[in-house]
């Protein structure tokens, strides 16, 4: 008995090592691809030549190695990884420009980002930064936000408390301790737990990369929770953990405010997810120089250089399968006509729900395994975005390179519960949580591009059902009542903004509009207006779900990438691409990225010494 158990253990360890360190395919991070910085292109027309290449059958390259549905960072990122090892990849995007949540749009001369406000972990020579340098051939540049990068604002106008959040492991706690004397122990323990939990997240990738039976063995033997503090903490709610640490209501709020970056109120949030966000921003926060369209703009040429293409206005209406139920291409709707694109591999960045419920033939969708996967996830919360164009420079308007998280009270669980569970008219009169940032103030290239102007981005949550009535109307013509409802949300949000930022006044506002959950459906293909894809509540962090929801689907030659197969956020969606690339290329790209980061650090150091 014991011998068998011993042998089984040894085999298990060997397998694990093989899947952690295994590497049989080509390595996209084999060499340092950074090129000298070229002159920045900010001219819209020039950029659109890259970002807005419309779909035509004649533009589809021959002999494709893969077709990717969706041009978010999960889709483009994966295409770049494959292109770097010489694969010819076609990326298809339903919207009229590439980028997904990283796309930008311009109204009345103001350029707005959709889904990038700040990204963490981008210190030079860290794996994420190094990877992005490679994936844009060294052309994408990052600008650090100021420190403090976030401000948590709590309470009603007559009793507002503002708490700055600093990056830096020591600074983070030191500054909090100044504001919360007597709470030193709670603050230290909070950070210790967050760091320890966050460090265990490598197991998430492991569960998705090792063979499923092995993953199941790790789960059923309970080894997962022994080996990874991440999964040990995953079933615990944020409220639960934080309430044990302190009685101070404001400190509890400060410990939890960043739930806004994944969308579950503290009592539904997993401490594991929370720990990832806290540690993500511990080394600082960054914004892409030139705005978030720079991301796609510098990735696309790499895909093209390998013979691939990124085509927009290319809604995929179904995935094609052969008789053996293997994916073999996609169908694109061109007007009323279907254009078929053949490829030996189909990778979807369109999210689990779109992929399984909209793009599969009925009989495949009905497969028990597909149904089981769909049953494990649920739609995440809808998002509300308000875009404001202002007349004035950042100095005139008092705008800086930071973010504000403004809450009407410090009891977030009740606050969100109440807000999300009321009728839309009520909700539009009081928005109790609001993210406010000025993208223009974060971008050093802005002043030259749009002198004398500024932008604000406001973000909150909103129920899909509040806006569902208008979902089938044309996006440009949704009627007066829809406009009225949007205006009510806008006015309420602006009142909050003008109260917190006294230099912003009505007469400075040149442009304002709101994007609702149904706007998200139209422009980023979010089926129920989700802000962060599938829900990130505690259930998302069960080891079972993380082992089962992986890049391979139950259907041969069909893969998933992006936020739904890993986690939300720019870095989460990119990790989805890295994991999917690992499966396709049969090697652990997470480790390759880490190895390259070490190598470039060494090389850069030597270069400096010379
Ligand atoms: C308002 C907002 C603010 C955010 N702020 C931040 C932030 O500050 N920092 C951060 O790290 N993250 C932020 N995020 C999250 C982050 O942007 C996303 O998690 C990430 O970019 C998702 O990438 P993705 O590739 O998985 O999906 P997406 O970017 O959503 O890409 C999916 C693409 O698939 C396309 N598609 C769908 N169906 C089809 C089809 N049938 N045919 C063709 N194409 C299709 C869609 O149009 C879309 O372009 C924010 C998100 C939002 C919405
Ligand atoms: C912007 O403000 C300046 C003065 O601050 C004013 O002269 C100008 O007319 C304003 N522009 C618009 C479009 O409102």
Query: In this predicted model, what pLDDT tens digit does every residue of 545-578 receive, in sequence order?
Result: 999 999 999 999 999 999 999 999 999 999 999 9
**CB 562 near ligand 1, within 6 Å:** yes
Closest CA to 112 of 390, 487, 497: 390
Write down the H helix ranges in 85-222. Answer: 127-135, 169-179, 184-199, 202-209, 212-220
Instruction: Say which residue the tokens 């008995």 belong to.
Output: 1
**Average pLDDT, whole number, for the chain?**
96
Segment 137-162 shows an average pLDDT of: 97
Give the model's confidence band at 6: pLDDT under 50 very low, under 70 low, under 90 confident, else very high: low
DSSP 527: T
Give the model's confidence band at 476: pLDDT under 50 very low, under 70 low, under 90 confident, else very high: confident
Distance of CA 386 to the CA centre of its chain: 19
Residue closest via CA to ligand 1's atom 31 equals: 72
φ, ψ at 443 (rounded to 5°): -105, 110
CA 229 to ligand 1 center in whole angstroms:
29
Q: Is the pLDDT of residue 349 over 70?
A: yes
> Of 2-6, 488-492, 515-519, where does mean pLDDT reach its minimum?
2-6
Q: How many CB atoms lie within 10 A of CB 174?
A: 13
Write down the H helix ranges in 31-139. Answer: 44-51, 73-84, 127-135
**Which residues, 6 or more positions from 415, have their beta carbon under 8 angstroms from its beta carbon?**
265, 407, 408, 409, 432, 433
CB-neighbour burial class of residue 177 (10 A; exposed 0-12, middle 13-18, buried 19+) = middle
List the domains of the chain with CATH numbers.
23-99+123-141+291-367+555-609 (3.50.50.60)
Torsion from C-alpha of 538, 543, 544, 546, nearest 10 degrees: 80
Distance of CA 184 to the CA centre of its chain: 33
CA 246 to ligand 1 center in whole angstroms:
36
Q: Is the pLDDT of residue 580 over 90?
A: yes
Please answer whether residues 187 and 176 qualify as being in contact, where contact means their C-beta atoms are separated by less than 8 angstroms.
Answer: yes
Q: Which residues pair with 587 in a beta bridge?
A: 23
Who has greater pLDDT, 184 or 477?
A: 184
Please answer whether residues 406 and 153 qualify as being in contact, where contact means their C-beta atoms are separated by less than 8 angstroms.
Answer: yes
Rounded CA gap, 229 and 224, in Å?
Answer: 9
Condensed to tens digits (0 to 9), the pLDDT of residues 202-219 reads 999 999 999 999 999 999
Which residue spans within 270-326 are E strands per DSSP? 285-288, 309-311, 316-321
pLDDT (0 to 100) of residue 477: 87
**Which residues, 6 or more positions from 550, have their beta carbon under 8 angstroms from its beta carbon?**
207, 208, 209, 212, 560, 565, 579, 583
Q: Is the pLDDT of residue 13 over 90?
A: no
CA 43 to ligand 2 center in whole angstroms:
24
**Which residues, 6 or more positions from 556, have their beta carbon under 8 angstroms from its beta carbon?**
324, 325, 326, 327
**CB 510 near ligand 2, within 6 Å:** yes
Largest CA-CA distance found in the chain, in angstroms, rounded: 81
Give the model's confidence band at 25: pLDDT under 50 very low, under 70 low, under 90 confident, else very high: confident
**CB 469 near ligand 2, within 6 Å:** no
pTM: 0.96
Please answer whether residues 361 and 558 qualify as being in contact, where contact means their C-beta atoms are separated by less than 8 angstroms.
Answer: no
Condensed to tens digits (0 to 9), the pLDDT of residues 80-135 reads 999 999 999 999 999 999 999 999 999 999 999 999 999 999 999 999 999 999 99
**CB 393 near ligand 2, within 6 Å:** no
Please answer whether residues 492 and 428 qualify as being in contact, where contact means their C-beta atoms are separated by less than 8 angstroms.
Answer: yes
Condensed to tens digits (0 to 9), the pLDDT of residues 413-457 reads 999 999 999 999 999 999 999 999 999 999 999 999 999 999 999
Q: Which atom of ligand 1 is nearest to the CA of 359?
A: 41
Could you report how far apart the first and last alpha carbons of the chain are, in Å? 62
CA 511 to ligand 2 center in whole angstroms:
13
Q: Is the pLDDT of residue 75 over 70?
A: yes
Residue closest via CA to ligand 2's atom 5 equals: 392
Rounded CA gap, 417 and 414, in Å?
Answer: 5
pLDDT (0 to 100) of residue 437: 98
φ, ψ at 184 (rounded to 5°): -55, -45
Q: Which atom of ligand 2 is nearest to the CA of 396?
A: 5
pLDDT (0 to 100) of residue 12: 61
Residue closest via CA to ligand 1's atom 47 equals: 524
């Amino acid at each position: 008995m014991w011998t068998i158990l011993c042998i089984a253990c040894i085999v298990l360890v060997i397998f694990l090592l093989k899947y952690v360190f295994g590497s049989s395919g080509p390595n996209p991070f084999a060499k340092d691809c950074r090129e000298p910085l070229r002159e920045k292109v900010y001219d819209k027309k020039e950029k659109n030549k890259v970002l807005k290449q419309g779909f035509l059958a004649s533009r589809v390259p021959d002999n494709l190695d893969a077709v990717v549905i969706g041009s978010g960072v999960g889709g483009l990122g994966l295409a770049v990884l494959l292109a770097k090892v010489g694969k010819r990849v076609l990326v298809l995007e339903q919207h009229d420009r590439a980028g997904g949540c990283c796309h930008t749009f311009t109204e009345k001369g103001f350029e707005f980002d959709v889904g990038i406000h700040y990204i963490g972990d981008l210190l030079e020579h860290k794996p994420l930064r190094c990877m992005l340098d490679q994936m844009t051939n060294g052309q994408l540049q990052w600008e650090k936000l100021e420190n403090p990068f976030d401000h948590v604002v709590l309470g009603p106008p007559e009793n507002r408390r503002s708490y700055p959040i600093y990056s830096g492991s020591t600074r983070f706690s030191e500054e909090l301790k100044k504001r919360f004397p007597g709470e030193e122990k709670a603050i230290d323990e909070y950070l210790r737990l967050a760091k320890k939990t966050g460090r265990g997240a490598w197991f998430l990738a492991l569960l998705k990369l090792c063979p499923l039976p092995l993953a199941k063995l790790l789960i059923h033997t309970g080894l997962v929770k022994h080996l990874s503090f991440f999964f040990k903490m995953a079933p615990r709610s944020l409220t639960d953990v934080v309430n044990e640490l302190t009685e101070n209501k404001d400190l509890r709020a400060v410990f939890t405010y960043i739930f806004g970056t994944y969308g579950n109120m503290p009592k539904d949030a997993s401490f594991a997810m929370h720990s990832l966000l806290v540690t993500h921003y511990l080394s600082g926060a960054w914004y892409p120089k030139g705005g978030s369209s720079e991301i796609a703009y510098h990735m696309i040429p790499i895909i093209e250089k390998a013979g691939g293409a990124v085509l927009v206005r290319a809604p995929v209406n179904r995935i094609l399968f052969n008789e053996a139920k293997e994916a073999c291409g996609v169908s694109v709707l061109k007007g009323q006509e279907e254009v078929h694109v053949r490829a030996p591999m189909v990778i979807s960045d369109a999210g689990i729900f779109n992929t399984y419920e909209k793009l599969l033939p009925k009989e495949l969708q009905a497969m028990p395994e597909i149904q089981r996967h769909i049953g494990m996830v649920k739609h995440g919360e809808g998002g509300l975005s308000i875009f404001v164009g202002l007349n004035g420079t950042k100095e005139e308007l008092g705008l800086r390179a930071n973010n504000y998280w403004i809450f009407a009270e410090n009891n977030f669980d009740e606050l969100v519960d109440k807000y999300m569970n009321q009728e839309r008219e009520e909700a539009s009169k009081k928005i109790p949580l609001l993210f406010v940032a000025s993208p223009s103030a974060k971008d050093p290239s802005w002043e030259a591009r749009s002198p004398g102007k500024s932008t604000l981005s406001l973000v909150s949550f909103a129920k899909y059902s509040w806006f569902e009535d208008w979902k089938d109307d044309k996006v440009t013509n949704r009627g007066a009542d829809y406009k009225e409802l949007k205006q009510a949300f806008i006015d309420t949000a602006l009142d909050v903004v003008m109260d917190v930022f006294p230099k912003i006044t009505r007469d400075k506002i040149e442009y304002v509009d709101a994007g609702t959950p149904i706007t998200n459906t139209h422009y980023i293909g979010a089926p129920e207006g989700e802000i962060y894809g599938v829900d990130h509540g505690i259930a998302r962090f069960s080891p079972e779900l993380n082992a089962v929801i992986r890049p391979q689907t139950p259907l041969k030659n069909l893969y998933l990438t992006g936020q739904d197969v890993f986690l939300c956020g720019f870095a989460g969606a990119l990790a989805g691409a890295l994991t999917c690339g690992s499966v396709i290329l049969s090697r652990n790209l997470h480790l390759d990225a880490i190895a390259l980061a070490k190598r470039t650090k060494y090389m850069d150091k030597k270069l400096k010494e010379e």
